[in-house]
Structure 1
């Protein structure tokens, strides 16, 4: 591995051994782990959201003639799902009651392929979501429902502040505008029969019928996003089936109207995704002068004690609670922004929504609700984020150089970041793995 000639130091003998595994990932991009994607179709829509789809407008099932044919066949498509629904415990009476007059919502097709021209930089995204108002409102929610939070925290051993943060960011604590007003059955039925994700949404449609079969949530209360996420903490129907609980013991798992069920189901989701009670999601850290940024790779983990031995500290000289806890280094805005050591609870949040910016916002809001302050290091003032076309250009150019970056889809996951880091090393640049306009200009040279 070449030495770094920027403000990062050259590789030492220790680095050569300690980063052996990570080095393989950097030099041989094909060995890197699978891409970490954003949530459903580029937006943040809640628990169990599907991975970013491949294709787009060019996908065969998204062509106008394919959509028109699928729309004409909608009734037959719905009827064909009766055997599957029956096998999942849906009665014929329920199936016929809710599907006999069902019509697709064709406006959803516009949402499937609508993408913002530019993505928001992580710092701007986190700052927007973790506002003083959201902190104030969250503390009011925690105080108002303290007896419920007490009981849920005892039962599930999940941090109440993390649960409240999810509630706050997913729907601004239950604001109807945040929840959405589309009928979940109509949305999932439409997507199960029309468009490029029919296999995925077939399961969501059947799961919605199961909710109606058991009368967990009244039909007219099943309102949500165009993709089917519903309730204040935005459960997808299949995630509801896995995680929802009847905490108020009224015989219904109602994550729309019952505050105890909402809080407990969200906590159960975190618990089953690996939340460890009493541990942080991660730490903001200060990197020493001359730090080698090739350590910033999620495939390379070591103990907090080992990070400390490299000169990595917390702001203000604070120590780490447990030196043996494992963590990886994340630079969500590159070397010019805050640095973080991420731990198991951060990964638990990522299982809800596999986007670093989202998980970081949840963790930071939870800390603010607990009484913590803002980050010590300011976010860089980036003019704008990269457009999807620019992100695809980065991937395409790296692929032409022989890197395995997966699909050229504009999703800059770990494979792409490994390739970026290796390119930076080979060019003598600071290898923070951060893709921005300046990096794109380097690729174009």
Structure 2
């Protein structure tokens, strides 16, 4: 199995890992600046011969590296990844937020004809394709703006997984040599995931399709056609069965439609899910139960289904999701901006709580509590 995801973050989609609270609707600007680095220069010189032996022309290499450089910001991100795991409740509060559901329904309507054609061509429901798009890049708003050749060469030279990133760099050069895009347009995340559907280069070579028929598999364009079709192609080739549910909350119509492959409960107390074969197919796109539930539940909500019925219990601080939302709302009203009120306590909320505690002579812990909520009330 080709692992499209560079590494598991526990959250699922890469874009979600950055959303410590409700995300803004505009894509953040993260363009990194290259700096002179003699070691990187020497590495690139040595790499050229290895790339040529794998079928990459000297002309392609020269063109790709003409504006490339060493990106210290990429190494900083690579070496300072915080290891954490969100609860399913927090994950779904981001992945299937009211805003993401509303945007998904708008995208389904706006691109309805395109998504219907993709559904017919690949046998993957348009709501599922839309949900993947929503989780991977917030419906194209967060495609990434880091130069891929610079990022991958930096990680291949100076990163923790040099051989892996060198293989991704060779794949990226093959994409350029095939004429699918240009070095200037080949941008993505700091770790090389690209376009609307966040494919890494090897997965792009294996699954991307030219749905527009213009001779290029352009997942970077503002036109999402190739990217969405590529996601559908990925799922279809991974075994997606049209007309069968991914799963559903135990007791729902989808869960009762057939004998499930398994019953899972990622968080207790919390809802149980009956899952079917298509659940495992989503996990081939990203090997995380939470991600697969996120895609499945978001697709159901986009299609018009209601929220989960089984409540999650209070968190370790004794607060429910609604309590945490209220806490964020009251902090914002008091002048301490949490950057959103989704009920997910991330770095922005922690900073706001700490500032409030400091200004009011309280012990500075940054920890939400019922006592703090009652004080704000």
TM-score by length of structure 2 reads 0.72
Q: For residues 318 and 173 of structure 1, what CA distance do their matches in structure 2 show?
A: 26
1:339-350 map, 5 Å:
339-350=272-283
SS of 1:360 mapped into structure 2: helix
Confirm whether residue 143 of structure 1 aligns to residue 73 of structure 2.
Answer: no
Which is greater in Rg? 1
Higher relative CO (Cα under 8 Å, sequence separation at least 6) belongs to: 1
Task: Name 1:109's counterpart in structure 2.
Answer: 75
- Answer yes or no: is the 8 Å Cα contact 2:209–2:226 preserved in 1: yes
Deviation at 1:45, TM superposition (A): 4.9
Residue 338 of structure 1: CA displacement? 0.6
- Where does residue 261 of structure 2 map in the other structure? 327
Q: Aligned partners of 2:183, 2:81: CA distance in 1, in Å?
A: 30
Distance 1:245 1:318 in 2: 31
Give 4+ residue runs of structure 1 displaced > 4 Å after superposition.
43-47
Do 2:247 and 2:254's aligned partners in 1 also have CA atoms closer than 8 Å?
A: no
How many equivalent residue pairs? Answer: 291
Structure 2: distance between partners of 1:247 and 1:79: 37
Which has the larger displacement, 368-377 or 215-224? Answer: 215-224
- Residue by residue over 1:114-169, the C-alpha shift from the partner in whole angstroms, topping out at 9 and shown as x without a partner, is 23365321111112220111111111111111111111111100111111001111
Aligned pair 1:278/2:243, yes or no? yes
TM-score (norm 1): 0.61
Matched, 1:268 2:233: yes
Aligned to 1:78: 44
Q: Do the aligned residues in 1 keep the contact of 2:89 with 2:312 (CA within 8 Å)? A: yes
For 1:243-322, what aligned pairs fall within 5 Å after superposition? 243-257=207-221, 258-285=223-250, 314-315=251-252, 320-322=256-258
Deviations 1:38-79 (A, max 9, x none): 9626264569xxxxxxxxxxxxxxxxxxxxxxx643223223
Partners of 2:254 and 2:147 lie apart in 1 by 49
Partner deviation per Cα, 1:274-302 (whole Å, 9 max, x = no partner): 211111111211xxxxxxxxxxxxxxxxx
Aligned-partner SS, 2:72 = coil
Unaligned runs of 5+ in 1: 1-35, 48-70, 286-313, 385-445
Q: Is the 8 A contact 1:39 1:353 kept in 2?
A: no
Q: CA-atom RMSD, angstroms?
A: 2.3
User: How has the CA–CA distance of structure 1 residues 345 and 116 changed in structure 2, closer, same or farther, with 3 Å as cutoff?
Assistant: same
Q: CA deviation at 1:234?
A: 0.8
Q: Which runs of 5+ in 2 are unaligned?
A: 16-36, 318-377
SS in 2 for 1:73: helix
2:118 matched residue in structure 1: 152
